[in-house]
Amino acid sequence: MKIKTSECDIVVVGVGGQGVILISSIIGKAALKACLSVRSAETHGMAQRGGSVINHLRIGCVFGPMVPLGGADILLALEPAEALRYAHYLSKEGVALVNVKPVFPSTVTTGQSRYPPLEDILAPLERICMDIKTVDATKLAVKAGNPQTMNVVMLGVLSKYIPISEEILIESLSESVPAKFLEVNRRAFELGKSEIKA
Amino acid sequence: MMREYLLGNAAIARGILEAGASVVTSYPGTPASEIVETLAPFTKKYDLHVEWSVNEKVALEVAIGASWTGTRAAAVMKHVGLNVAADPFMTLAYTGVRGGLVVISSDDPFCHSSQNEQDSRRYAQFACIPCIDPADPQEARDMTIYAFELSEELELPVLLRPTTRVSHARADVEVGEIEENRVKPEFLRNPVRWVALPAHARPRHSVLLEKQDAIKAALEKSPWNRLVLRGELGVIASGISGLYAEEAIKQLDVDISILRIGTFPPPEGLCSEFIMHVSKVMVIEELEPVLEEYVERAAREHNPDLDILGKRTGHIPREGELDPYIVRNAIANMADLPLVESPSLREASEILPPRPPALCPGCGHRAAYYAMREAFGKDAIFPSDIGCYTLAVDMGTIDTCLCMGASITLASGIRFSGEERDICCSIGDSTFLHTGLPGLLNAAYNKARITIAILDNSTTAMTGHQPHPGTGVTASGDKTKAVSLASLAKALGADFVETADPYDLKATIETFKRARDYHGLAVVITKQVCVINERRAGIKRNPFMVNENCTGCRECVEFGCPAIEFEEDCARINSLCTGCGVCAQICPSEAIEVVKVK
């Protein structure tokens, strides 16, 4: 009896400074170009100082901006620990797209806490959702020519899963990054996209 | 009409432009800061005065002055800022306005970035003025324009109250034309209105009370309250809760009547129609039971048997923010439908390291606090204030944080109680200029023997790096006089005023020691530009590295800089290093050195 109230619900998570807001904004603007209504909720303020960040993004939705717990079609994680932190947003039919390169929080660098091994992070994720795709997006971003484009690599990965055409996404990307960084960002997008087989 | 993908705050800014306002004032505060930031680039094009005011009381008073000349004005703040502006706010309801005046107070349920989660709708009730509660960015833009019109119609200020999930939501928003013509200002002398002497205030109070019917009539015919009558179960919800409720009703596919409320006081006619139609109602709103109390009162008159579920019955929480999950289960519960389980993951809480926000690598505040602790020792008392520096709470130099400016005054009170230990309070530059000035004046006047550290990073960092009177730049980017914090401190009565560079640890520690030993009020200004602004300005220093002298003593690691890691039995400096060099001064083994340029 579940009735869909959003065409595609995405939760984008990561660490303050990784570019969560930028890619959410690229997807949102692309949705507008595709004539789809879009809602999103952002983390500003305190949480941006190296803290954990979550953005909600709802494509084809006219309700509130927050994705219901257990309702996300896609969890796009720019950092593996953050993927697990917000995994409870994923629906059973959902897909997790995870950059596997960790960013250690200060609690780990100062030795107060331990960063868990990747397999311990991924195991519970695999249990609760339909599919999980792991990508070393940070490595691919270096390959593209700039480690800062890691978020755009993940956008390329995501492009295979959302109801917006690649052309529109790239148009939105072009309008959102400075012209001199466009080439490297497009390479990053392509590298991400080619990680997912059709 | 055009469609744009807008942040809620940008949608409010757009509404302000479309309404043709002439003056917009604000003090930065999450979640309200982006409204003025969005407007700032348009000041010249639309002949608009936009300012970062010194504090919210000042902001509101400047806006009132503009309104009294007949032009439209807005004063923008976060919810706790309205406390600072409460003095003019309350009497403004008596004097009223000429040009439309909209007070925008953004609430922060769940305290995402705030020290409390007070509900601004109570302030509107308190002042007897209308309050508009937008559900999303589209309503935020539409209601802003409406609020200016309503304000002029009633000659009263109107409170617009978005919440974090409206201010920091983005959505496709239909926008209209920007009004390019501004009203020509003219202040008309009218002491009976503008001079709140007791003889004038008493009749103005009567006028305000007489206006209450006009407020109700205007809001009743406004488009912001929507009624859909279906079955005899009902939901009445305000602001964003109405969207959560509509989504839940659709998902659950249930025959539930709904009344969405966007105005306070709520519309009497629609409410009574709704209350007479249903036998059981759930009142859904964030924070205070403002709507619920209204429904309870109205039900006594129109449907005394009505079963009312809400905060009083424990069905809806009074603290924190609501979300689609909470609202869905609340409605399912009322309709006797199965609840969905919270899909919590045991592993997430068990194995994940916490990732709290922290001071940036190279932040001058961290160095200032380190020096303060070295000079004063762990036994001293450290009242503090509101800003990025509060993130240093684990360093042991933050013992209090109450509200803007309360560091100096709390420190004074602790001293006057007879507490004899050393006291060193800390306050940021922007916060000092906001409400720290009267505290310092009071401390000097009443002879408080304390040390005040002004942590000067030359910006309002936490809310997104807005300029302030110490920076020499206005909101619109024009050059202006830069006020000297040291001269201010001296003028306010401090005899001991010294400035130190916190990156020079030894000198800063010595400065703090002199302040500690001074017989009266001492002020230490630790001055170091915010590292984020330095990076944006292209200023680069050579990073540091750990050499073979490292003994693994962890002194540098305990400093807490995110650029220092501990691996196996040695410290390591990672790529986040900004080259401040403070850790090299802390290291007892000369094991940290600057990376030589090749």
Say which CATH topology domain B226-334 has: Rossmann fold (3.40.50)
At B63, which helix (H) or strand (E)?
Answer: helix B56-67
Answer whether the bond into residue B267 is a cis peptide, omega within 30°: no
What single-letter amino acid sits at B102?
V
| B123, containing H or E segment | helix B121-127
Strand, helix or coil for residue B237: strand
Q: Determine the Cα–Cα distance for residues B263 and B265; give it in Å rounded to an integer.
A: 6
Fold classification of B364-536 is: Rossmann fold (3.40.50)
What value does the mean pLDDT take over residues B55-64? 98
CA distance B388 to B368: 13
User: Nearest to residue B130, comparing CAs of B44, B213, B237?
Assistant: B213
Does residue A54 lie within any of the structural domains? yes
What confidence tens digit (pLDDT) does each residue in B523-549 have?
999 999 999 999 999 999 999 999 999
- Give a yes or no: residue A3 inside a domain: no
SS (H, E, C) A34-94: CCCCEEEECCCHHHHCCCEEEEEEEECCCCCCCCCCCCEEEEEECCHHHHHHCHHHEEEEE
Residue B346: per-residue pLDDT: 85
The answer to whether domain B2-220 and domain B364-536 are alike in fold is yes
Q: Which residues 334-373 in chain B show a CB within 8 A of chain A?
A: 340, 342-348, 351-360
| Residue B420 pLDDT greater than 60, yes or no | yes
CATH placement of domain B544-594: 3.30.70.20
pLDDT for A1 equals: 42
| Chain mean position to CA B174 | 27
Is residue A30 included in any domain, yes or no? yes
* Residue B456 reports pLDDT greater than 80: yes
A96: CATH: 3.40.920.10
**In the structure, what pLDDT confidence band is assigned to residue B519 with cuts at 50, 70 and 90?**
very high
Q: Which residue has the tokens 């803290």?
A: A51
Inter-residue contact B144 to B19 (CB < 8 Å): yes
% pLDDT > 90, chain B: 95
Instruction: Quote the radius of gyration of chain B (alpha carbons, Å).
Output: 27
Cβ contacts of B539 within 8 Å, gap of 6 or more: none
Average of per-residue pLDDT across B252-281: 97
The residue of chain A nearest to residue B387, with distances taken between CA atoms, is A46
Q: Is B588 exposed, middle or buried (0-12, 13-18, 19+ CB in 10 A)?
A: exposed
Q: Give chain A's domain count.
A: 1
Look at strands A52-59 and A38-41 and give their pairing. antiparallel
CB contact under 8 A, A68 and B113: no
Computed over every residue of chain B, the mean pLDDT equals: 96
- Residue B514: pLDDT over 70: yes
B chain contacts of residue A24, beta-carbon cutoff 8 Å: 170
State whether ipTM is beyond 0.90.
yes
What angle in degrees, to the nearest 10, is found between the helix axes of A166-176 and A20-33? Answer: 130
Contact B437/B417 with Cβ under 8 angstroms? no
What average pLDDT does this structure show over B432-449?
98
What pLDDT score was predicted for residue B377? Answer: 97
Per-residue DSSP letters for B510-552?
A: HHHHHHHH-SS-EEEEEE---HHHHHHTT-----EEE-TT---
Divide the 198 residues of chain A into consecutive groups of 10 and give the mean pLDDT of each group.
Answer: 85 94 95 96 76 95 95 97 96 96 89 92 92 96 96 97 96 95 96 88
Instruction: State mean pLDDT over B484-492.
Output: 98
How many Cβ atoms from other residues are within 10 Å of residue B336's Cβ? 8
Q: Which residue type occupies B43?
A: T
**pLDDT band with cut points at 50, 70 and 90 for residue B407:** very high
Structural domain boundaries of chain B?
2-220, 226-334, 364-536, 544-594
Does some domain include residue A1? no
CA nearest neighbour of B6 among B134, B110, B146, B149: B134
What pLDDT was estimated at residue A112?
A: 85
Residue B420: exposed, middle, or buried by beta-carbon count in 10 A (0-12, 13-18, 19+)?
exposed
pTM flag (> 0.95): yes
pLDDT beyond 90 at B596: no
Nearest one of B145, B86, B108, B89 to B29, comparing CA atoms: B108
Fold of B2-220: Rossmann fold (3.40.50)
| Residue at A126 is within a domain | yes
Mutate to test the interface with A, among B355, B366, B530 (most CBs of A within 10 A): B355
pLDDT given for residue B136 in this prediction: 98
- Domain residue limits at A103: 8-193
Q: Burial of A154 by CB count in 10 Å (0-12 exposed, 13-18 middle, 19+ buried)?
A: buried
Predicted confidence at residue B598, as pLDDT, reads 65
| Model confidence pLDDT, tens digit, residues B297-356 | 999 999 999 999 999 999 999 999 999 999 999 999 999 999 988 777 888 889 999 998
Of A32, A44, A85, the CB nearest to B168: A44
Who contacts A123 (Cβ-Cβ below 8 Å, separation ≥6)?
A: B347
Q: Which of A98-107, B167-176, B261-270 has the lowest mean pLDDT?
A: A98-107
Cross-chain Cβ contact A63/B325 below 8 Å: no
User: Which pLDDT score, from 0 to 100, does residue B293 have?
Assistant: 98
pLDDT score of B431 more than 70: yes
Cβ of A47 within 8 Å of Cβ of B253? The answer is no
Cβ–Cβ under 8 Å, residues B211 and B150: no
Does residue A99 fall inside a structural domain?
A: yes
Chain B residues 137-156 with CB within 8 Å of chain A = none
Token couple for B297: 């009162």
| A165 touches B: beta carbon within 8 Å | no
Q: Does B170 touch chain A (CB under 8 A)?
A: yes
Q: How far apart are CA B162 and CA B76, in angstroms?
A: 11
Instruction: Report the percentage of chain B scoring pLDDT > 70.
Output: 100
User: Considering CB atoms only, which of A5, A45, A49 is closest to B358?
Assistant: A49
